[in-house]
Amino acid sequence: MNVHLAMRNDSDIKRLCRADALARLAERVYAGEGLRAQVELSLLFCDNAFIQNLNRTYRGKDAPTDVLSFWQGAPNRHIPHVLGDIVISLETVAERCRGDRPAMRGEVRLLFCHGLLHLLGYTHATARDRERMAEKQAHYLALRPELSWPDRPATPARPAPPDGPARSRTRRERTGGT
């Protein structure tokens, strides 16, 4: 394996995601981007208060968010390198998914993939950048493109890929609304 994932959960929500499943996703993204150097990646699950503090400190936005990524530098071909840190608020995930654990697992996979793509240099500063990042997320998560963005519109469900947990249900599915 080229990606070593260190995962820590400081959230009140426990046993939601398995580190090995997220590590396989990280490997798929990393290899899919043509990267070969060994890297270390950390993932922290937290609550809204913690991520809001990070968001205020590092982005100047005094509000909770779903995911933040902190890049540590370019990989070195000769030694394992710390690629960066991904922080996901499980409190935000639970609110978005109304506590539905299978939907929450899918949302975490989406946010983890999103954060990892940021660490690999992708942004969504322009409409074209966002489209390209959404396409990458759709590809790596085996989702239709319209389902591959955290604030995606409500659309019908699609089955999860065979090697991972179910993807997040749509807003319409979660709320039963129209």
pTM, 2 dp: 0.81
Burial class (CB in 10 A: 0-12, 13-18, 19+), 70: middle
Q: Tokens 């990267």 — which residue?
A: 35
Residue 178 pLDDT > 60 = no
Q: How many domains does the chain have?
A: 1
CA distance 75 to 35: 9
Whole-Å CA distances, 54 to 48, 66, 96: 10, 11, 20
Q: Where are the alpha helices (DSSP H) in the chain?
A: 19-32, 48-59, 90-97, 101-119, 127-141, 171-175
**For 64-111, what is each residue's pLDDT tens digit?**
999 999 998 765 555 568 899 999 999 999 999 999 999 999 999 999
Read off the CATH number of the domain in which 120 is found.
3.40.390.30
* Residue partners of 84: CB distance under 8 A and separation at least 6: 41, 42, 69, 70, 71, 72, 119
Residue 162 pLDDT > 90 = no
Give the domain range for residue 90: 3-175
CA distance 57 to 52: 8
* Residue partners of 9: CB distance under 8 A and separation at least 6: 16, 44, 45, 90
Average pLDDT estimate for 34-61: 94
